[in-house]
Amino acid sequence: MNKAVTARAHTNIALIKYWGKANAELIIPQNSSLSLTLEPFYTDTTVEFAPELTQDQIKIDGQLQTTMAGQRVRTFLDLVRQRVGRDDFAYVNSTNHVPTAAGLASSASGFAALAAAASKAAGLMLDRPALSRLARRGSGSATRSIYGGFVEWQKGHNDADSQAVPFQEHIDFDIQMIAILLDPRPKKIASRAGMAQVVATSPYYPAWPASAEKDLQAMKTAILKKDLNLIGQLAEANAMKMHATTLSATPPFTYFEPETLQAIEIVQGLRNNGVSCYYTMDAGPNVKVICSAQATPTILAALRQHFAADHLLVAQPGPGISYL
Ligand code: 2P0
């Protein structure tokens, strides 16, 4: 019997970025990455297979999907159907509690929740490593959203070994993030296209995976030492190395907007005044500040002088996948 299954997945922000694929079909990355899963940014997705349907019916945030976002979901459902040998279609209803496509990685929570809900609705009982590998086929960053806390995506070599592992699920030191929403519009160059262009054309790209692997090892040590300053320094430098590859691509591009630099200057100014805070950025103009809960009121006060209060979102370490 068909049953509706609902899963919740939180988004994650990488401290060591995934940037570039070794295999585009299987989404095997060129480098391992490490992220922090965040509360309260999540996606709830319900999947129900239904014999009466003649095609998948996909709703995201209440909107019936007919274009590209819908196609990625359909392709993902095909993969699930193939695994269990069924050919019926499904209702998918997904609600993002994350600003979609604004650089807060709604594809991470979206495909992680879809992997969990669709596989269970189809009758597959997957453990977390298998769920992580399945989520990876939807979107690389979704691989990590199966787990809470600090999560490492071990790049592996193939479909069977490229998966996330929890590095530290329960964090017992003070770390959080402030996301500065600079631009709520969907981003101009999707991360998928951006990273492909960089891998194909940037003469600087080969330096990236090598440098990221070193950063990852240093980051793991910094986390184990609960050294927030070192975590922040490493994350900031790693993010800027990633962004340097976009300027060296042909044609060159950047995710920076004028306000991005303004936000970075505020963070640097606070730091010069003894406030411990660091920035990271993904494939969009938004800046995320890595800091302690203790320093957050001071940082928010400085940011509010330039940015609207409702564009400043505070996030704490969040949990892994759950079924509702
Ligand atoms: C990350 N990003 O590690 C990196 C840093 C953006 C910059 O993972 O093509 O949407 O679906 O695998 O996962 C965003 O890329 O790309 C991303 P696909 P995805 O978080």
Cis peptide before 251 (omega within 30 of 0): yes
Cis peptide before 40 (omega within 30 of 0): yes
> Quick check: CB of 192 below 6 Å from ligand 1?
yes
CB atoms within 10 A of CB 294: 11
Atom of ligand 1 nearest to the CA of 16: 3
Among the residue ranges 27-36, 129-138, 292-301, 305-314, the one predicted with the least confidence is 305-314
Q: Cα angle vertex 210, ends 208, 214, to 5°?
A: 110
Distance 283 CA to ligand 1 centre (A): 7
Distance 84 CA to ligand 1 centre (A): 28
What is the overall mean pLDDT for the chain?
95
Distance 90 CA to ligand 1 centre (A): 26
Q: At what angle do helices 68-84 and 106-121 cross, to 10 degrees?
A: 30
pLDDT exceeds cutoff 90 at 104: no
3-state secondary structure of 288: strand
Measured CA to CA, the distance from residue 125 to residue 219 in angstroms comes to 33
Residue linked to tokens 């209702």: 91
| DSSP bridge pairs for 93 | 46, 59
Residue range 267-310, pLDDT digits in tens: 999 999 999 999 999 998 999 999 999 999 999 999 999 999 98
Residue linked to tokens 């302690």: 292
Measured CA to CA, the distance from residue 82 to residue 245 in angstroms comes to 37
* pLDDT for the residue 185: 62
How far apart, in Å, are the Cα atoms of 229 and each of 16, 190, 277? 15, 31, 8
Polymer length in residues for the chain: 324
Q: Thinking of the domain 176-317, which architecture would CATH place it in?
A: 2-Layer Sandwich (3.30)
Measured CA to CA, the distance from residue 315 to residue 290 in angstroms comes to 10
In this prediction, residue 101 has a pLDDT band, given cuts at 50, 70 and 90, of: very low
What is the fold, at CATH topology level, of the domain defined by 5-171?
Answer: Ribosomal Protein S5; domain 2 (3.30.230)
Distance 248 CA to ligand 1 centre (A): 19
Distance 191 CA to ligand 1 centre (A): 6
* pLDDT for the residue 122: 97
Residue range 208-263, pLDDT digits in tens: 999 999 999 999 999 999 999 999 999 999 999 999 999 999 999 999 999 999 99
In this prediction, residue 106 has a pLDDT band, given cuts at 50, 70 and 90, of: confident
Residue linked to tokens 């297979």: 49
Atom of ligand 1 nearest to the CA of 33: 3
> Quick check: CB of 18 below 6 Å from ligand 1?
yes
In this prediction, residue 99 has a pLDDT band, given cuts at 50, 70 and 90, of: low
Measured CA to CA, the distance from residue 245 to residue 194 in angstroms comes to 10
* pLDDT for the residue 98: 79
Q: If 0-12 CB within 10 Å is exposed, 13-18 middle and 19+ buried, where does residue 284 land?
A: buried
Q: Hey, which of 107, 198, 199 would you mutate to test ligand 1's pocket, going by the most ligand atoms within 8 Å of its Cβ?
A: 107
> Quick check: CB of 263 below 6 Å from ligand 1?
no
> Quick check: CB of 140 below 6 Å from ligand 1?
yes
- Domain boundaries, given as residue ranges, for the chain: 5-171, 176-317
> Quick check: CB of 215 below 6 Å from ligand 1?
no
Closest CA to 107 of 193, 192, 15: 192
Closest CA to 51 of 117, 1, 115, 118: 1
Among the residue ranges 31-35, 42-46, 149-153, 281-285, the one predicted with the least confidence is 281-285
Measured CA to CA, the distance from residue 103 to residue 190 in angstroms comes to 9
Distance 192 CA to ligand 1 centre (A): 7
In this prediction, residue 2 has a pLDDT band, given cuts at 50, 70 and 90, of: confident
Distance 140 CA to ligand 1 centre (A): 6
> Quick check: CB of 187 below 6 Å from ligand 1?
no
**Pairing state of beta strands 89-97 and 33-50?**
antiparallel
Residue range 113-124, pLDDT digits in tens: 999 999 999 999
Closest CA to 9 of 111, 133, 105: 111
